[in-house]
């Protein structure tokens, strides 16, 4: 199995959003906006999709990067992607779903219902067009990824557990913003249920899992680059 992280942009973010317990709530720090791609058994699996709306990027102060040539060079066209796993339905995790052809889609039942009601018509149409596996608790994908609904960051937010080379990883969705949330056992500051988020982080911390969040620039410094905005994790 191969696993990659893709950096689609950067912005400033209040520290109080990252750490519930920060003593410097108005301090701003730089974060990444990213998603993951896996290659396994001749299949391409996207873990979240990224986004492309310039107005939304401007509202969030995100400086976006052009990754399309890098993506196609390494992974081929989106039309060939087999599976898309959605950790939750916030814009940066689901907005590009309509660019795919007819992949299998895996997401929490709660977020599917939210997306059908609240996402753009293009996303709603894609969800209705594709085979969607809606998960209430856990689901094993491709005998490799264990998708689990947590409901801490948002009501249907989920994480993905994966084991490789005797290492245990967790792709955290936004149940962690930074690796340090898990490493230092510090819950996030934007939550639907802080109790569920705290329970997930404490459990993953106690188990010594390796965190793979979506907003930590250290991911792109820690792992080897395969192109300008893409690093290989496994």
146-155 pLDDT, tens digit per residue, is 999 999 999 9
Q: Residues of the chain with pLDDT > 70: what percent?
A: 100
Which residue in 47, 1, 4 sits closest to 233, CA to CA?
Answer: 4
- The domain that holds 50 is classified in CATH as 3.60.15.10
In this predicted structure, the answer to whether residue 79 has a pLDDT above a threshold of 90 is no
pLDDT band at 222 (very low <50, low <70, confident <90, very high): very high
For the ranges 28-32, 139-143, 187-191, the lowest mean pLDDT is seen at 139-143
Give the H or E element holding residue 180.
helix 179-183
Counting the structural domains of the chain, the total is 1
Q: What angle do CA 129, 50, 87 make, to 5 degrees?
A: 70
What range defines the domain where residue 144 resides? 2-232
Identify the pLDDT of residue 165: 86
Average pLDDT estimate for 200-222: 98
Identify the pLDDT of residue 29: 98
Rounded to the nearest integer, the mean pLDDT of the chain is 97
């Amino acid at each position: 199995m191969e696993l990659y992280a893709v950096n689609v942009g950067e912005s400033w973010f209040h520290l109080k959003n990252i750490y519930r317990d920060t003593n410097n709530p108005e301090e701003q720090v730089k974060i990444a906006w990213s998603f993951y791609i896996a290659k396994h058994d001749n299949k391409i699996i996207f873990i979240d999709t990224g986004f492309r709306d310039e107005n939304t990027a401007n509202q969030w102060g995100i400086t976006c990067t052009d990754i399309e040539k890098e993506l196609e060079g390494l992974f081929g066209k989106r039309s060939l992607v087999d599976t898309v796993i959605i950790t939750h339905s916030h814009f940066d995790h689901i907005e590009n779903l309509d660019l795919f052809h007819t992949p299998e889609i895996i997401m929490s039942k709660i977020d599917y219902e939210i997306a059908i009601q609240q996402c753009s018509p293009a996303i709603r149409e894609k969800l209705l067009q594709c085979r969607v596996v809606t998960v209430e608790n856990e689901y094993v994908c491709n005998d490799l990824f264990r998708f689990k609904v947590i409901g801490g960051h948002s009501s249907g937010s989920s994480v993905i557990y994966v084991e490789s080379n005797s290492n245990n990883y967790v792709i955290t969705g936004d149940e962690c913003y930074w690796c340090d949330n898990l490493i230092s056992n510090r819950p996030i500051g934007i939550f639907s249920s802080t109790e569920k988020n705290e329970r997930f982080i404490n459990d993953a911390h106690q188990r010594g899992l390796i965190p793979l969040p979506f907003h930590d620039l250290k991911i792109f410094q820690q792992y080897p680059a395969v192109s300008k905005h893409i690093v290989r994790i496994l």
